[in-house]
Structure 1
Amino acid sequence: MALEKHHGGWVIVFSFMISLMLAVMPLPQWAAIWRPDWVALVLIYWAIATPQRVGVGVGWFVGILHDVLSDTLLGQHSLGYCLLAYAGVKLHRRIRVFPLWQQAVGIFVLITISQILDIWIRGMLGHPPHGLSFIYPAITSTLFWPWIFILLRDMKRAYQVF
């Protein structure tokens, strides 16, 4: 078994740091319910692009960091992010061949499932959802997916992340 040397790990860490900052950045109440799930978008991209480096363990760790930063129940985001990372790693070969608009549809489904898990946990804590507001982050994440994909793909190529 040959040992592979990985390059550009700092790019992955940097992209997660930026996504976590965007996830906890204060927004007005009307805009906060539409906030894309930046961390999920970055996690899905890296799970698809480098499944040997970013997987369920990274999803769990980033979810714990998101929980700490957003002052939510420890593990609340981790459950959804582990599911997203697992789906990204399992389906990475299939997802890569689709055009961006079809990938965005898949992103919508994955983030909607993650949001449903999130509202289920909040519901058990006594904070029921208000209508269909849980779907708004999935809609905006779907709209931002092509730009996130292109930006991270170009960073991956420029810094030779593998």
Structure 2
Amino acid sequence: MSLEPHHGGWVIVLSFLVSFMLAIMPLPAWATVWRPDWIALVLTYWCIAVPQRVGVASGWFVGLIHDVLSDTLLGQHALTLCIIAFISVKLHRRIRLFPRWQQVMGVFGLITASQLLNAGISSIVGNPLLEWSFIYPAITSCGLWPWVFIILRDMRRTYQVY
């Protein structure tokens, strides 16, 4: 824990607010299964970029808000986002060194595991499990990862978030 004051916390909060808005934005019926996991993408970035500020507790809190916004079982997204945050924080030094295409593959693995866990929890609760549609958000998320990474990195550097 650093004793230096932190700067730019509002940038982190603003990026999560935008991800919440994108997560609940209405889409056509055919596009809802392809909706990227915006919240997991933003959480993964901040856990990699500033792990001393955004971690498992942030994942839990953001997940609870996501559960309330998406009207799912309370704690469902909180659990999956905690797992994503834990893995991201634990491996943040390695992930930073990976070329972008390897980061994309890592994000694909994280979000696929998250979507699979969410589908499993939903099926336990009684919602029908859709065949392979749980993987569609991981595909779109890994396609958007380079853009999310570049945008958030530029914001972090511009507003000196550390």
Asked whether the two chains share a fold, i.e. TM above 0.5, the reply is yes
CA separation in 2, counterparts of 1:147 and 1:111? 16
**Could you tell me how far apart the structure 2 residues matched to 1:161 and 1:2 are?**
14
Q: In the comparison of the two structures, how many residue pairs are matched?
A: 162
TM superposition shift of 1:24 = 0.6
1:66 aligns with 2:66: yes
**Local SS of the residue matching 1:84:** helix
The Cα offsets for residues 51-83 of structure 1, whole Å up to 9 and x where unpaired, read as 000000000000000011111111110010000
Give the CA deviation at 1:130. Answer: 1.3
Tell me the alpha carbon deviations over residues 68-110 of structure 1, each in whole angstroms, 9 at most, x when there is no partner: 1111111110010000000110000000001111100000000
Amino acid at match of 1:141: S
Shift in Å at residue 2 of structure 1? 6.2
Structure 1 runs (4+) deviating above 6 angstroms are none
Partner of residue 117, structure 2:
117
In 2, the alpha carbon distance for the partners of 1:47 and 1:5 equals: 18
Change over 3 Å in CA distance of 1:12–1:132 after alignment to 2: same
Match of 2:126 in 1: 126
For residue 33 of structure 1, give the secondary structure of its aligned residue in structure 2.
helix
In structure 2, distance between residues paired with 1:24 and 1:61 = 17
Letter in 2 for 1:12: I
Alignment of 1:36-115 (within 5 A): 36-115=36-115
Q: Distance in 1 between matches of 2:44 and 2:3?
A: 26
Alpha-carbon distance, 1:128 to partner: 2.4
- Residue 140 of structure 1 and its aligned partner are, at CA, apart by 0.2
Q: Which runs of 5+ in 1 are unaligned?
A: none
After superposition, the C-alpha distances for 1:133-160 in whole angstroms (9 at most, x for unaligned) are 0000000000000000000000000000
Percent sequence identity over aligned pairs? 67
The 2-side partners of 1:144 and 1:84 are apart by 17
TM-score (norm 2): 0.98
**Alignment RMSD, CA only?**
1.0
- SS of equivalent residue, structure 2 residue 34: coil
Q: In the aligned structure 2, how far is the partner of 1:58 from the partner of 1:13?
A: 11
| Distance (whole Å) between structure 1 residues aligned to residue 103 and residue 128 of structure 2 | 30
Secondary structure of residue in 2 paired with 1:89: helix
Call closer, same or farther: CA 1:126–1:5 in 2, change over 3 Å. same
